[in-house]
Amino acid sequence: MTLPTTTLGGRLEVGRLGLGLMGMSAFYTGRSSDDAESIRTIHRAIDLGVTLLDTAEMYGPHLNEELLGRALEGRRDQVKIATKFGVYASSDGSRSTDGSPERVRKAVEGSLSRLGTDHIDLYYQHRMDPGTPIEETVGALAELVTMGKIGGYGLSEAGVGTIRRAHAVHPVTAVQSEYSLWTRDPEEEVLPVLRELGIGFVPYSPLGRGFLTGTIRSLDALDPDDFRRHNPRFAGENLERNIGIVEHVDRVATEVGATPAQVALAWLLAQGEDIVPIPGTKRVERLEENVAAADITLTAEQLADLGSLDAPAGDRYPDMSGIGR
């Protein structure tokens, strides 16, 4: 099969599903990742019509962009590259944000070099910088658009006020936030504003950080260095309560002859043509399973049933500061 396409922000044509690359280099398995298998997965994604490939300079840091650069040798013109700037790790493990124009200009040059390309199709501010007005950050991004170094820009985990202010300076192509059957936060405020302004929406973690696949029933399923071991939704009683969500999704999956992951993605795709989820995987078989979700049509009753699921127990992150500014 080949994926149907859609257009983000009226200007960036991509397949209805993208591919999140983070887990190939960081957070889930660290350096135990298999770069050769990851590259095979990227190549297979391109063959199936997955054209939006999502990375960030902080993944590794830098390793993920370098991996994508190697994978795209000879195939750059077949994809749209999305990467992110603005979050930086210190030697003590803490993180800071920097959206200053100077940092924007420096960061894009580093990403271009690591990716082995002369332009980035979609350049996100990874998290909002409370010390720099969004108008100044977007002013620098608009300069990069004029210079041809980026095709457009996006915001990740931005609040509606920031989105409106940014869009008034230069049109936003896409906003990226967590959205899935167990993270419905964007529905109340963010999605209506995006549709009002004609901005695309790119949900990350559309499978609930792997939880909605039904394969995680205890922390024993996770590598010792997997960051989900410290995620509130995977902890203790929260994990036990949240398994009920997966069991509900699994019941619908049985009805339609699909996997829980495919049902979760099919539900998300049904929420609108302006939505392009970016499920992450480093394995070809999981990629093919995810892409097949685009062929699944859920009934109105099944969509409503899934939409009525209880909210999960626990916050999305141990520290929610900086989210939704």
Q: What is the pLDDT of residue 33?
A: 64
Q: For residue 23, what are the contacts with CB-CB under 8 A and spacing of at least 6?
A: 29, 33, 280, 281, 282
Q: Phi and psi (nearest 5°) for 224?
A: -55, -30
Residue 314 lies in a domain: no
Q: Which long-range contacts (CB under 8 A, 24 or more apart) does 240-244 make?
A: 241/312, 241/313, 242/182, 242/211, 242/312, 242/313, 242/314, 243/217, 244/310
b/e 287-309 (16+ beta carbons within 10 angstroms → b): bebbbbbbebebeeebbebbeee
Residue 316 lies in a domain: no
Mean pLDDT of 145-156: 98
Q: Which residues are catalytic?
A: 59
Q: Where are the alpha helices (DSSP H) in 74-179?
A: 101-115, 134-147, 160-169
CATH of residue 23 = 3.20.20.100
- Residue percentage of the chain with pLDDT more than 90: 78
H helix or E strand, kind and range, residue 15? strand 12-15
Residue 319 lies in a domain: no
Residue 74 lies in a domain: yes
Q: Phi and psi (nearest 5°) for 287?
A: -60, -50
Mean pLDDT of 13-29: 89
Q: For residue 292, what are the contacts with CB-CB under 8 A and spacing of at least 6?
A: 1, 262
Residue 221 lies in a domain: yes
pLDDT at 9 exceeding the cut of 60? yes
Between the alpha carbon of residue 50 and those of residues 41, 95, 162, the distances in Å are: 11, 31, 30
User: 77 or 215: which carries more pLDDT confidence?
Assistant: 77
Establish how many alpha carbons lie within 13 A of residue 308's alpha carbon, considering only the half-sphere containing its beta carbon. Answer: 8
Q: What is the pLDDT of residue 67?
A: 98
Q: What is the pLDDT of residue 102?
A: 98
Q: What is the pLDDT of residue 242?
A: 87
Q: For residue 102, what are the contacts with CB-CB under 8 A and spacing of at least 6?
A: none
> Per-residue pLDDT tens for 90-107?
877 788 999 999 999 999
Residue 100 lies in a domain: yes
Residue 12 lies in a domain: yes
pLDDT at 231 exceeding the cut of 90? no
Q: Phi and psi (nearest 5°) for 42?
A: -60, -45
Q: How confident is the model at residue 252 (pLDDT cuts 50, 70, 90)?
A: very high
Mean pLDDT of 194-211: 95
Q: How confident is the model at residue 1 (pLDDT cuts 50, 70, 90)?
A: low
Round to whole Å and give the CA distance between 93 and 95.
Answer: 7
Closest of 23, 9, 3, 20 to residue 275, by C-alpha: 9
**Do 261 and 287 contact (CB within 8 A), yes or no?**
no
pLDDT at 325 exceeding the cut of 80? no
What domain count does the chain have? 1
What does the mean pLDDT of the chain come to? 92
CA angle, corner 42, sides to 257 and 65, nearest 5?
Answer: 135
Burial of 237 (0-12, 13-18, 19+ CB in 10 A): exposed
Q: What is the pLDDT of residue 300?
A: 98
Mean pLDDT of 158-165: 98
User: 13 or 223: which carries more pLDDT confidence?
Assistant: 13
User: Considering only 14-23, 206-215, 248-257, 302-311, which range has the smallest mean pLDDT?
Assistant: 206-215
Q: How many helices and strands (H and E) does the chain possess?
A: 10, 11
Q: What is the pLDDT of residue 28?
A: 61
Mean pLDDT of 52-80: 97
**DSSP-assigned states of every residue in 41-69:** HHHHHHHTT--EEE--TTTTTTHHHHHHH
Residue 268 lies in a domain: yes
User: Considering only 37-46, 81-90, 184-193, 208-217, which range has the smallest mean pLDDT?
Assistant: 208-217
Mean pLDDT of 37-66: 97
Mean pLDDT of 93-122: 96
User: Considering only 188-202, 203-217, 284-298, which range has the smallest mean pLDDT?
Assistant: 203-217
- Residue percentage of the chain with pLDDT more than 70: 92
User: 187 or 89: which carries more pLDDT confidence?
Assistant: 187
Q: What is the pLDDT of residue 13?
A: 98
Domain that holds residue 158: 5-307
